[in-house]
Structure 1
Amino acid sequence: MKELAYASGLSVNNIRMIMDREPGLLTDEYVPVGRGVSRTFPIKSLKRAALMHAVTKMGVGITQAARMVAEFSSEFEMNHDGLPANIDAIIPRKYWSDLVKSVPKDEMRHGNNYEYYFYIIHVNETNQPVERKIYVGDMIMEIIDQTYVFQTMIRGEISPGMLEGPSSEAIMAMEGWERGGDFSIKSIMDFGDTPDTWKREAKKWQKVRENCTTKTQINVSLAIRDAFERVRLLRAEG
């Protein structure tokens, strides 16, 4: 738990609070060791915790941040088992075949868990820290007027990637996150029963997005890479 807290930037008390108030968000496994219990967390949990810490930098309470991350990540994780660190942008494909040999076989079966291992192994073996910057392909959490949340990617001259257009980028609408107890979240799929109704609602959100008063962007992938690097340095120190 201490390692998860250190890597994500959250406090141990934050982690405990999330586990008490939002059970299952930081999925864990319990492994008996002697008289106590050693708690290990999946890589998916590290990625979520890293994003939670980034969200709290906006002044959002930890419980509200946890709920925001849970809704924001759920659909993407159904297909990928974890938010993206965008390792493709920083480790050339020519290294991948060798890296795969060093990753535990079970981890290659779990969505994008390989990203964590690729990052740690590659940086340690090359002794070349990854430049901390924005890369094409990084996932962005975009919050419009403190209400509408979109999930998009930084696009360059390459293919736009996984997400295409506002109808697929609209994720959720929030109310009252600055008021704590009045906080509520509605998924885009709560606005109707069919894909057509969701698209119509998303177009309304997109209009607000294009004419907004405030826009907050969180680089999800960079927050995750920061967490990977903190784990790497912590373990290197022994």
Structure 2
Amino acid sequence: MARPRKDSPPDRFTSTEMAVAAGITARSFGVLIENSLAPDTVEYAIGKQAARYWNSFGLGEAALIGAIHKSGAELLMSAKIAHLVIDEFVGPRGHLPSRLGDYLNRPLNPNPGRYPWAEDDPQDWLRIRDDFWLHHILRTRTDIYNIGKAMDGDLVMEIADRRYVFTDFAWSPERKLPRANPWGTTSASDPDWSLEIEGWERGKDAVVRPVHELIDISAMMDDPAAKEAARQREKQTLDARRNAVGLLRVNVSLAIRNAFDAVHEHRLASGSSFDWSAHSQPKPSRYSGSDANGDPLDINHHWYADLSPAERAKRRDEIEEYIAKRDMNDDEPGA
């Protein structure tokens, strides 16, 4: 789908751009749509019409579909696995980690405590909550972004023998922390068992089940036998991974960053034009933006991470005083 107008927000993506992000053809992305396996769309009004677009979250799902497909899985199966992995992972966390936020902090940010770009825009704090905008700013206003490079802490997904699906964070050994399961096992080296696939060869008709459907977690709270059965079931899956004949591995975070890179390059090559003042972010809260000195009004902004409790309380009072005066001026006649 072509981008119909130049004033459409750049943080919305067409089906063509979604195909580019996934590294598949536009026809293949159409197959996903036809089989109800494409990422969910969002609508954006253009004049009197509403066009079908996707947001950054949908682009992340497309990136994962494409990465699994590139690793050797069939397209429809890739989409089915990606969708369920996202459901299981995003539910308790709220997002797929692109790791783009690492560029705001040490050691990647050469200016800790400030943004890694030279000049701040009042809208930066609002926009960088969306991966597209953070990626765009890093690509266009800094020289610190590493294209196509894996990062410490990237989310990875593995599928052992086309049956057992695991997720893990690829931290360096010295930063690897133990994890705990409801059935009492802890490990710093084993990944999380996320899904099981039955009948991969059936493609779209294969059955993919999350762990909570395979193990009755609620029964384990009062039943030692159920807890032991869960522990043994996990041991079986981890043994299957260690002894797998085939192991499909996808760096999910890198796939998402690569997808944003691909769309960025595609738009440059095609000469796409946008109204860069337009965006689809939520309406700013009273704490969005900055004061007259350029300091953020959100006390949870990373600039304030190192403040002492007393300094934080003082800054909070300053923020409230500034907002009160601003609101008073806005309410004055003729303001």
Give per-residue Cα distances to partners, 1:102-148, cap 9 Å, x unaligned: 4473773xxxx3x3322220121124551422221111111111110
Matched, 1:231 2:254: no
For 1:57 and 1:33, the matched residues in 2 are separated by: 35
Aligned with residue 211 of structure 1, among 234, 243, 254:
243
The 8 Å contact of residues 167 and 203 in structure 1, kept in 2 or not, is answered as: no
Aligned with residue 105 of structure 1, among 109, 126, 150:
126
Calculate percent identity across the aligned residue pairs: 23
Q: Which sits farther off after the overlay, 189-198 or 158-167?
A: 158-167
For 2:179 and 2:52, the matched residues in 1 are separated by: 35
For 1:34 and 1:116, the matched residues in 2 are separated by: 24
2:310 equivalent in structure 1: none
Matched, 1:189 2:202: no
TM-superposed CA distance for 1:98, in Å, is: 3.1
Matched, 1:17 2:25: no
2:6 equivalent in structure 1: none
1:125 equivalent in structure 2: 141
Alignment length (residue pairs): 232
1:170 equivalent in structure 2: 193
Question: SS of the residue aligned with 1:142?
Answer: strand
Distance 1:36 1:143, change over 3 A: same
Matched, 1:52 2:65: yes
Give per-residue Cα distances to partners, 1:71-117, cap 9 Å, x unaligned: 11112212343321122455535467537954473773xxxx3x332
Give per-residue Cα distances to partners, 1:217-237, cap 9 Å, x unaligned: 111111111111112223334
- Between Structure 1 and Structure 2, which shows a larger proportion of helix residues? 1
For 2:56 and 2:213, the matched residues in 1 are separated by: 29
TM-superposed CA distance for 1:205, in Å, is: 0.3
For 2:265 and 2:178, the matched residues in 1 are separated by: 31
1:2 equivalent in structure 2: 16
Question: SS of the residue aligned with 1:170?
Answer: strand
The 8 Å contact of residues 76 and 204 in structure 2, kept in 1 or not, is answered as: no
1:31 equivalent in structure 2: 44
For 1:135 and 1:219, the matched residues in 2 are separated by: 10
TM-superposed CA distance for 1:206, in Å, is: 0.7
Q: Which sits farther off after the overlay, 122-131 or 183-192?
A: 122-131
Question: SS of the residue aligned with 1:130?
Answer: coil
Larger Rg: 2
The 8 Å contact of residues 191 and 201 in structure 1, kept in 2 or not, is answered as: no
TM-score, normalised with respect to structure 1: 0.82
TM-superposed CA distance for 1:149, in Å, is: 0.6
TM-score, normalised with respect to structure 2: 0.60
The 8 Å contact of residues 127 and 134 in structure 2, kept in 1 or not, is answered as: no
The 8 Å contact of residues 171 and 188 in structure 1, kept in 2 or not, is answered as: yes
1:160 equivalent in structure 2: 176
